[in-house]
Structure 1
Amino acid sequence: MTNRTMDGHRARKRFGQNFLHDEQVISGIVAAVFPKPQQHLIEIGPGLAALTRPILERADHLHVVELDRDLAARLENDPTMAGKITVHRNDALKFDFTALARQLDGKLRVFGNLPYNISTPLIFHLLSALDVIDDMHFMLQKEVVDRMAAGPGSKTFGRLSVMVQQCCKVTPVLEVPPHSFTPAPKVDSAVVRLEPYEHPPYPVADRALLNHVCHTAFHQRRKTLRNNLKELISADTLEQLGINPADRPEVRSVEDFVKITNWLAEHSSNDEAH
């Protein structure tokens, strides 16, 4: 992609900007999202509108969250999008997706080529708004998608895997090489579909507590659950829950971490841990 096709916009490192220009990849993402009129579509980080334009061809309106003032102004002043786009000049990490869904009186379909420097905290932010989200399609660093989709026993299985899989069906959609972007990132990318469960297979009493349990369990991956979780739950109780305290965290399942969390939520005084 030349500077001319980027319309003179220089990618800004502080915003983690890598602009997608591969038409085949763009078509693949649009097909995966499969937008339709009357849906409440919201794009995070539209950038130079590589996805925005083809999505708008199939949808009647689109909300976008853009932090870069120059790019936001371009979108607002683009005559081809007049009346079809609402630009929210905001940081996606602070954006209130629940408030927008209430305003639109419907669930959101969220998509975007996420800035890789904020992708994991942004995913966690969106997980807190799952009640108002139908589905999500994101371009991410491939390593992050691998972690989301990883199963127990994998070296990439960890806190992100548990937190996402507990509440969403995770489907890797396509892999994207660095040359599909300008500037080319130093890593491979991938697109993932996240579909929140209406009824999670492993319901959790407290998602914030699950996050704390996972953070504590995976903080030192080479240590056992007995060592990592000793401040939260005893080895005897882990055994009562059917979990071997001598196991390392990555060999246990999403269900196991939910069991631990639900036990802690039920025994909130947690006398046993002391």
Structure 2
Amino acid sequence: MSRLTLAGNTTVITGAASGMGAELARLLAASGVHLALLDHNAPALAAVAAELTGAASNGTVTTHVIDLRDDDAVAAIAAEATAAHPRINALITCAGSSMLGSLEQLTMEEMRWLVDVNLWGTVSITKALLPALRSRPAAHIMHLASVYALAAPAGRIPYSMSKFAVRGFSEALRHELEGSTVTVGAVYPAGVRTGIILHGRYAAAIDPAVAARAASAQAAMYHTEPTDAAARIIRAVERRSIRTMVGREARLIDVLTRLMPARYWRVMRGSLREATDTTTPVG
């Protein structure tokens, strides 16, 4: 399989206003890659774009404010991005959020919201941009899943459920596109210091102090710097990789779930006890 050339072509990034999306945009812009940046947060997206256009870069940067849950808006933004960038050869879906809470604490509305953002937003933008990607001699789609698409912890049902679905979507789409010019891969990050867990949502039924304690316990386990993770993901896109682990914990969990597919939680439970505790009162 030929290596994908990103410089001089356009990469579309969702969730580009913060976290992994913003880090990817910074590294790609510095390498002369044209960028179409998508996010729902207009001020933060504008700030990232201003930072990139103010730096030394040969690439064009456009911003597109979008709620990925709105299929009609996604189709319109895809047409807009394609018109502005006729050479789109990579899509990296970083948009997503987290959700703390047990099944008993979460409402159906809260869980549906997260699945809409993490899964259906990913499916919608991929479907909308697929014709543009198919038109290129070579293209790659990279979906950010999660280490929780490999192992499903307590207290993260909607998040893990959505990420397992992203994993399934990526694999099925890869098989559908087999033999075409478009390849599909997924990234399984663990322990990246992006702040997603600290800025994510939690069930309204949870005491905010308890939710903050659980989120902080989870964040304390993160060790990989966002810049290092972004560089790893870019290399994977260039190589058109199918399955990419980011962070030592991701590689360990990948092995653990293969060796103990029905019993891995026995090993993980202890280290995640505080991060999954959304009931014990603080103090």
With normalisation by structure 1, the TM-score equals 0.44
Q: Which has the higher helix share?
A: 2
Highest Rg: 1 or 2?
1
With normalisation by structure 2, the TM-score equals 0.43
Q: Which has the higher contact order (CA 8 A, sep 6+)?
A: 2
